[in-house]
Amino acid sequence: MSDAPESVKITINGVEIEAPAGEMLIKVAEEHGTYIPRFCWHPRMKPVGLCRMCLVEVETPRGVVLVPSCVQPVADGMIVETASPVALKAQEGVLEFLLVNHPLDCPVCDRGGECPLQDQVMSYGPGESRFVEEKRHYEKPVPISDLVLLDRERCILCARCVRFSDEISGDPLIEFQGRGNTTEIFTFPNEPFASYFSGNTVQICPVGALTAAPYRFRARPWDLQTIESTSPFHTEGSRITVHASQNQVMRFLGVDNGPTNQGWLSDKERFGFEFIGSPGRLRTPMIRENGELREASWGEALIFVAERLKEIIERSGPDAVGAIGGAQGTNEDAYALSKFMRAAVGTNNLDAQLDDGLNPDFLVGVGSRARIDDLETANTILVWSADLKEENPILYLRVRRAAQELGATLIVVHPARTGLDDVAAHKFGYRPGDGSDLLADLAAGKDGFAAARDALQEGPLVVIVGRTGLAESGGLAEAVASFAGDLPGVSIMPIVRRANTFGALDMGVAPSLLPGRIPARGAEAPLVELWGAIPVSRGLDTVGMLAGLRSGELKALIMVGADPVRDVASGSRAAEAIGAAEFTVAFDLFLTDSAAMADVVLPAEGFAEKEGTVTNLEGRVQKVNRIVPGPGQARPDWSILDGIAEAMGSPIGLQSAETIAKEIATVATAYEGITWDLLEWEAREGAVVPHGDAQQPLEYVAVNAEQPQQTKGLGLHLARTLYDDGSAMRHSLSLAKLAPGMSAGLSPDHAADLGVEAGNQVTVSIGNVSFTCPVRIDPSLSNRTVAIPFNQPGIETLDAAAPISVVAGGPS
Amino acid sequence: MSEPPLILTARMHAHPETSHTIATFEATGGYTALRTALDMGREAIVEEVKAANLRGRGGAGFPAGVKWGFLAPARPAYLVVNGDESEPGTFKDRQLMERDPHQLVEGTIISSLANEVNHAFIYIRGEYPKPARRVQAAVDEAYSAGYLGTNILGSGYDLELTVHLGGGAYICGEETALLNSLEGRRGEPRLKPPFFPAVRGLYMAPTIVNNIETLCNIAWIINNGGNAYSAIGPEDSPGRRMCSISGHVNRPGNYEIVEGITWRELIYEVAGGIRDGNELKAWVPGGASAPWFVPGEHLDTEVTKAAIDSNGSMTGSGAVIVMDHTTDMVAAAERLVRFFAHESCGQCTPCREGTTWLDMILRRMLAGHGRATDPDVLYDVSDNISPGVTWPPKMTTICPLGPSAVSPVASLLKHFPEEVAAAVERGTQVPVSIGMRV
Amino acid sequence: MTDIAQWSQEAEALAEAVIAKYPQKRSALMPLLYIAVREDGYLTESGMRRVAALVDLEPAQVSSVATFYSMYKRQPVGKYLVSVCTSISCWLLGGDEVLEAVESAAGVPAGATDESGVVSPEHVECIGACGGAPAVQVNYELIEGLTPQKATELVEWLNAAQPETLNGDEMQALFGGQRSFDWAIHETDSATGPYPAFQPHGTVAPQGRS
Ligand SMILES: Cc1cc2nc3c(=O)[nH]c(=O)nc-3n(C[C@H](O)[C@H](O)[C@H](O)COP(=O)(O)O)c2cc1C
Ligand code: SF4
Ligand code: FES
């Protein structure tokens, strides 16, 4: 990495300013208050100087010349005129050229009112068109994917969408076609713009050429209220703006938060806003009576839940109650759950992780924790986790950028093909279950691993570890981290999938942790003063609680935004467990498969309906904000929990999300000083905990965990896809249809053995569940591994631990 | 002073039927320059070419030796020979490739040696399969004879030479567009800065791009010395160069000229005068991009780079297109503008939109629907592509193609305003809109 | 994923040899497009997919490149592509009239193909034959110095004789006139379809490929 650039003095419109050498003139000018019009330039993409809108005059040894300021690095002594008569004439000229073929359909254009072209015509444009010839004609908006429409007549050919897709997201599916005056942007015939990031092109299109199907014609910009918030979808904590009109959320846009999403969003988080206003939202509390759920008042429901819980606690003790969830909401809600379980119930049976199933102490306590920005300076990056493109798409973009643009050496270890393979210097696959063997080979720098092993020695090194699939042991990630911990210049990023898992863990929603990353047995004042006596024995995790329900050891289950039936690897066994429980209560936005089995269902407020904070995978705390009211009688989780505690006669004293935030800052060392005010004003980028001089409270040494060897039968790689049958997806109309459905990934040799090709049908049996699905060929898979996407619509939940078999052909 | 020797076309004149074969080439001194060059070493070759003051023959006229001196030190480096010859009026490189391909191959090998290049490419326009076949055959022969490949003539020097066929796009003659094309991309010119080929060229490696004709001079320079070359013709643009003459002349064709004669001599003596005894009306002195010359002002000026430049045009590709008094100049301008509009790569706004707009206006005028405002609009649109409408052009565009389309319009408005006025006057005031030509 | 049809063995082998000639795979894209054209008679979607697979690109990237150039025809063309130059030098000497003659002899306008699929007239920009204007190419084999009369005869001959291969020298002798430069070399290579008759020959594979 180069040293900090020297600074140079330049003169813009007569004013001398200082700027870092090599910075582009357009950016320097803007930072010093001179806005130069532009279309193709985008701060997060390589400058291309195509549109020529940003022409300014620069004095050079060869005289004064017109240069595009977006590709002109500043140099000492440079004298620039951005609005001289020649520069202005050139800018007006370009604008007139752009309008030559641009339709005059602003009144019906989604971009009308927030269109840079429209704006610039107002400020720089010629009055009247001198172009009397016929304009270019194309078929009006054509859908180029399920989410995006393209109107080529409006396109000004700035190539932002093309460059984004190629340079940033690595899906070059939309390209210039043709030449000269008939150049157009288009996809390959019958090959849709099926990118997980397609919505970003809509956001960065400077005109209304690309529009999003979920937003089309829904609102005009001047009718929208806007608030900044943090995306509820991925653990990276993308910064967004939420736009609403008449109490309906209309869209999300990405905000350029440097340390996290840098303006980009996955399509799931961009278009997932639809679930908020879904007609399927729960609106009233419901109590099961004679096998049927009936509506109830809050008063009745809270008392009902409180009495059932009290009765079970009195009969079987507090450890007969457990709670799953809390990773979908705010830190304040998670804190309330943590306090409720410890203070009102008196148990450590609570867990925020459903599927990742990693050791919570490891997740929050691993040493040398990496920040996402460490990727910018990394020499080497090791990704041994889920396919980031599917589960952590923003991290995927950042790793891709590091490998592709910043020259980091990327090593990917994963049982199947991943989205990063094409930019990886080294890719290693293995049969699920054999990960520890591969780790040993890599650590030893065995044949074929030597170059990668050497690269690992070249710090700064960032190691991203997580579970590669649901059928694999979580211990492997700890073993990888343990190996990596000794490498020079290492920082480690343990990752999970569900949005606010790290926030929930930090709030103590884990069988072994208390708020502020301290062990359950380590409670001190002021926590003890506020919470009273805290149980010290380690509680049950999700798997343990589900087993406990089946065995009868656990009697009651509280599900807080959790749907174990769809979300744990062995969903069928989760259903059995819920069925076996004496009492279950679900707080949720929807009547999920799990909630549908509960005794009491309580409507919760969701994203955009409540205020609070969330914590991303690097420990960055950011604010989420309210812009619409919740549906019907929905309440925030903390208030429901407070109400139950009150009715149980063990009040936990919660008044508002904001007072909870203050309580968190008091009791959780790591969160000291993190106030809403701070996050709203000075720390708009978020504040990373522990921060300042505070030390990481929990010290955790990852162990070289023993890996259970799988039997030598077929291995199962069960992995999530970005789009699946999760409840937010189900209730986002535009996204629901994008789940890829079931398929069986086979290695080429395995397919050949079975006599099948890509697209042929095979029948897969896992335990006593069988289904027929098409074959995908994945050369990265080991020969004895079948890759199955997790949680697809219309497929029964599976038992990931059961034996698997594949035969050619469909049902006979 | 005796007539200087033919440099480029001597062999094809002496051996009209076999000039393209390696046998004839070797029998007439071919590949001796290569042997000499292998002994001379890199720096001495560059010095000779510098001493020759050989100017590039592709259009810009930049001294080849100086260009080679700019090659950045990183390796690998590449040499790319520009055989995209597509500038209307130009057909000289075709003759050099078809009739004496070994002269080109030898020049390419020596130039590669001089630039520490181990892989060179000859990019030939797609519409030239015959020249490409000839060059490929010569390359194959050179490989067999040990002039190409590994350890050339036992010197330890290795060179691969690949012949690449274009796909039909004039803009690929622009050197950075050519590099993109050779990389398997759209032939869009790159931004200069930062993508100067000598520093960041093919595959972002240091790259020399030279025209076919430029390299055809190299063997002669090595054999006879740079000073012998620079002694021929004017000091500023010495040597011999190919001049393609076409249009309304009696003897169109390629002529290997020495600069310094007048246009009158070139058109009336060399090219045999205007056909049918007609009168000369105007000519394009250096390929379709060059602003026009007219007899009243330019007929007795010299055909030298210096004189052409100072008269506001350029030597360009050396192509001269002659138009007699029967020519409708509005139509001629339209034909030229149409070419550039058709060949615009389309990436930058003023060229993509402006060249087509100019063409639409001219076509509307020709169709009898001129408007009184047309001359002003023509001028102002030109000004928005090429501010000031001067030559060499100022540009709002990425590359000079856009401004090239302005040349004929500016020339028309300047030299033939009465024809423009007449076209406007013929115009009915019936509004029409001229659609885009695809 | 769409299945990608392989080419003939000969074409696949040639593709492999072509790719080996370049330091980077993608550079082979244009020669591969010609192979695709030769295989199918024009550039089909399936041909572009094959090229994409060979050079590790998305099909959209391949079509982006292919559509930039004018010689990769994306619609079926007749057995003979008759390209008439109407750029400045040819226009000065009657290129437009030659084009009209070709169109009326073929019975279809430029850009179309006659009913029997034999002749496709098109107008092209300068083909580097300005000294022999007006000029025409048939399957990229050049004929210079045509007149409208000779152009008509050319199309009639193509229709009547329908030769499998086209030799430029032969056609020049039959229909041509003034040439750009003297030509005494007998040309033997001939075009076999509406694409340029040029095959990169098998030179030694370059060293130090990445
Ligand atoms: C629009 C445009 C078209 C060009 N076409 C050609 C061409 O067809 N052949 C050529 O040799 N140079 C052409 N050039 C010039 C090249 O960019 C480059 O200057 C030349 O190949 C360098 O070789 P030289 O120095 O030997 O002349 C063109 C330049 C421009 C701007
Ligand atoms: S001036 Fe024309 S040809 Fe040159 S880069 Fe711009 S659009 Fe392309
Ligand atoms: S913003 Fe500079 S050229 Fe487009």
Determine the Cα–Cα distance for residues C82 and C110; give it in Å rounded to an integer. Answer: 9
Residue nearest to atom 10 of ligand 1 (CA): B58
Which residue reads 């937010």 in tokens?
A: A728
B114-134 residues labelled b (16+ CB within 10 A) or e (exposed)? bbebbbbbbbbbbbbbbbbbb
Q: Are B104 and B122 in contact (CB under 8 A)?
A: yes
In tens, the pLDDT along A366-407 reads 888 999 999 999 999 999 999 999 999 999 999 999 999 999
Quick one: which atom of ligand 2 is closest to the CA of B399?
4
Interaxial angle between packed helices A116-124 and A85-100, expressed in degrees from 0 to 180 and rounded to the nearest 10: 130
E strand map for B239-344: 240-247, 253-258, 280-284, 319-324
Residue of B97, B130, B337 to mutate for C, most C C-beta atoms under 10 A: B130
Task: Identify whether the C-beta of residue B122 lies closer than 8 Å to the C-beta of residue B135.
Answer: yes
Q: What is the CATH number of domain A286-357+501-607+635-672?
A: 3.40.50.740
Q: Is B326 on the interface with C (CB under 8 A)?
A: no
Please tell me the distance from the alpha carbon of residue B357 to that of residue B401, in angstroms, as a whole number. 15
Query: Do the beta carbons of residue C114 and residue C56 sit within 8 Å?
Result: no
Same fold, C9-66 and C80-182+189-206: no
To the nearest 10°, report the CA torsion of B42, B45, B47, B53: -140
C71 touches chain A (CB under 8 A): no
What fold does the segment set A361-494 form as a domain?
Dimethylsulfoxide Reductase; domain 2 (3.40.228)
The CATH number, out of the four listed (2.40.40.20, 3.40.50.300, 2.60.120.620, 3.40.50.1240), of the domain defined by the range A715-808: 2.40.40.20
Does the beta-carbon distance from B88 to C125 stay under 8 Å? yes
Q: Which amino acid is it at A753?
A: D
Contacts 24+ apart (CB under 8 A), A84-88: A84/A57, A86/A57, A86/B387, A87/A55, A87/A56, A87/A57, A88/A124
Q: Where does residue A234 fall: left (phi above 0), alpha (psi -120 to 50 degrees), or beta otherwise? A: beta
* B257 bridge partner residues: B241
Determine contact: B431 vs chain A, CB below 8 A: yes
Q: Domain ranges in chain A?
A: 7-83, 286-357+501-607+635-672, 361-494, 715-808
d(CA A675, CA A692): 14
Asked if residues A118 and A106 have their Cβ atoms less than 8 Å apart, the reply is yes
User: Ligand 3 centre from A36 Cα, in Å?
Assistant: 9
Inter-chain contact B396–A134, Cβ cutoff 8 Å? no
The pTM assigned to this predicted structure is: 0.95
Question: B409: which 2 tokens?
Answer: 């319009």
Tokens 């107002």: give the residue: A122
Q: Which chains touch A (3 or more CB pairs under 8 A)?
A: B, C
Structure confidence at residue A110 (pLDDT): 87
**Ligand 3: does its nearest atom lie under 6 Å from the Cβ of A53?**
yes
- pLDDT of C205 higher than 80: no
SS3 at position A240: strand
| Nearest ligand, CA B351 | 2
Say how far apart CA B22 and CA A451 lie, in whole Å. Answer: 48
Closest ligand 3 atom to A37 CA: 1
Contact at CB, B349 and A101, closer than 8 angstroms: no
DSSP readout, B138-152? HHHHHHHTTSSBSSG
Q: Is A163 in the pocket of ligand 3 (CB under 6 A)?
A: no
Ligand nearest to C-alpha B215? 1
CA distance A642 to A662: 16
Torsion A560-A563-A569-A572 (CA) sign? positive
Residue A171 carries which side chain, given as an amino acid letter? D
Among protein residues, the one whose CA lies closest to atom 30 of ligand 1: B174
| Arch. (CATH architecture) of A7-83 | Roll (3.10)
Distance from the CA of B84 to the center of ligand 1, in angstroms? Answer: 8
How confident is the model at residue A107, as a pLDDT? 85
**Angle, CA C165 vertex, CA C164 and CA C171 arms, to 5°:** 120
Option in B203, B323, B335 nearest C23 (CB): B203
**Res A104: pLDDT:** 85
CATH of domain C9-66: 1.10.10
Question: Which residues of chain C lie closer than 8 angstroms to A163, CB-CB?
Answer: none
| Stretch 134-173 of chain B: residues touching chain A, C-beta under 8 Å | 169
Rg over alpha carbons for chain C, rounded to the nearest Å, is 18
Contact of A188 with chain C, judged by CB distance below 8 Å, is answered with yes
CA of B362 to the centre of ligand 3 (A): 29
Question: In sequence order, which ranges of B194-281 are alpha helices (DSSP H)?
Answer: 212-216, 218-224, 226-230, 263-264
Phi-psi map region of A211: left, alpha, beta (phi>0 left; psi -120 to 50 alpha): beta
Q: For residues B108 and B161, is the Cβ–Cβ distance under 8 A?
A: yes
Which three-class secondary structure state does DSSP give residue A350? strand
Say if the Cβ atoms of A189 and C45 lie within 8 Å: yes
Q: Can you give the residue ranges of every domain in chain C?
A: 9-66, 80-182+189-206
The set of chains that have 3 or more CB pairs under 8 A with C is A, B
Q: What is the mean pLDDT of chain C?
A: 93
CA angle A513, A570, A480 (to 5 degrees): 55
Which atom of ligand 1 is closest in space to residue B85's alpha carbon?
8
C124 touches B: beta carbon within 8 Å: yes
Ligand with smallest separation from the Cα of B386: 2
Q: A188 and C63 in contact by Cβ < 8 A? A: yes
**ipTM at complex level:** 0.95
Looking at residue C3, what is its pLDDT? Answer: 62
Q: In chain C, which residues have their Cβ closer than 8 Å to the Cβ of A174?
A: 60
The three-state secondary structure class of A735 is: helix
Residue-level pLDDT at A569? 82
Task: Decide if B191 and A53 are in contact by the 8 Å CB cutoff.
Answer: no
Task: For residue A88, count other CB atoms closer than 10 A to its CB.
Answer: 16
B190 vs A569: which has the higher pLDDT? B190
- C33/B164 touch (CB, cutoff 8 Å), yes or no: no
Using an 8 Å CB-CB cutoff, list residues of chain A that contact chain B: 48-53, 55, 65-66, 71, 86, 89-90, 93-94, 96-98, 100-101, 130-134, 136, 156-157, 159, 176, 178-183
Residue position matching structure tokens 């200082």: A18
Name residue A95's beta-bridge partners.
none
Asked if C10 has any chain A CB less than 8 Å from its own CB, the reply is no
Q: What is the pLDDT of residues B69-126, one digit of tens each?
A: 999 999 999 999 999 999 999 999 999 999 999 999 999 999 999 999 999 999 999 9
Q: Which residue of C has its CA nearest to A173?
A: C60
Task: Kindly report the three-state secondary structure assignment for every residue of B42-73.
Answer: HHHHHHHHHHHCCECCCCCCCEHHHHHHCCCC
Q: Is A417 on the interface with C (CB under 8 A)?
A: no
Nearest to B354 among A97, A159, A183 (CB): A97
Render the burial of B31-50: b for 16+ CB within 10 Å, e for the rest: bebbebbbebeeeebbebbb
Contacting residues of B for A97, CB less than 8 Å apart: 349-350, 352-354, 357, 384
The answer, for B15 touching chain C at a CB cutoff of 8 Å, is no
| 8 A C-beta contact, residue A84 and residue A57 | yes
Tell me, in angstroms, the distance from the centre of ligand 1 to residue B251's CA. Answer: 26
DSSP class of residue B346?
A: S
Q: What is the pLDDT of residues C121-174, one digit of tens each?
A: 999 999 999 999 999 999 999 999 999 999 999 999 999 999 999 999 999 999
Rounded to whole angstroms, the Cα distance separating A769 from A775 reads: 18
Q: How far apart are CA A546 and CA A557, in angstroms?
A: 9
Minimal C-alpha gap between B282 and chain A (Å):
29
Low-confidence residues in chain A, pLDDT < 70 = 1-4, 124-128, 692-695, 704-712, 812
Ligand 3 nearest atom to the CA of residue A50, by list position: 3
In this predicted model, what pLDDT tens digit does every residue of B314-357 receive, in sequence order? 999 999 999 999 999 999 999 999 999 999 999 999 999 999 99
CATH-assigned architecture of domain C80-182+189-206: 3-Layer(aba) Sandwich (3.40)
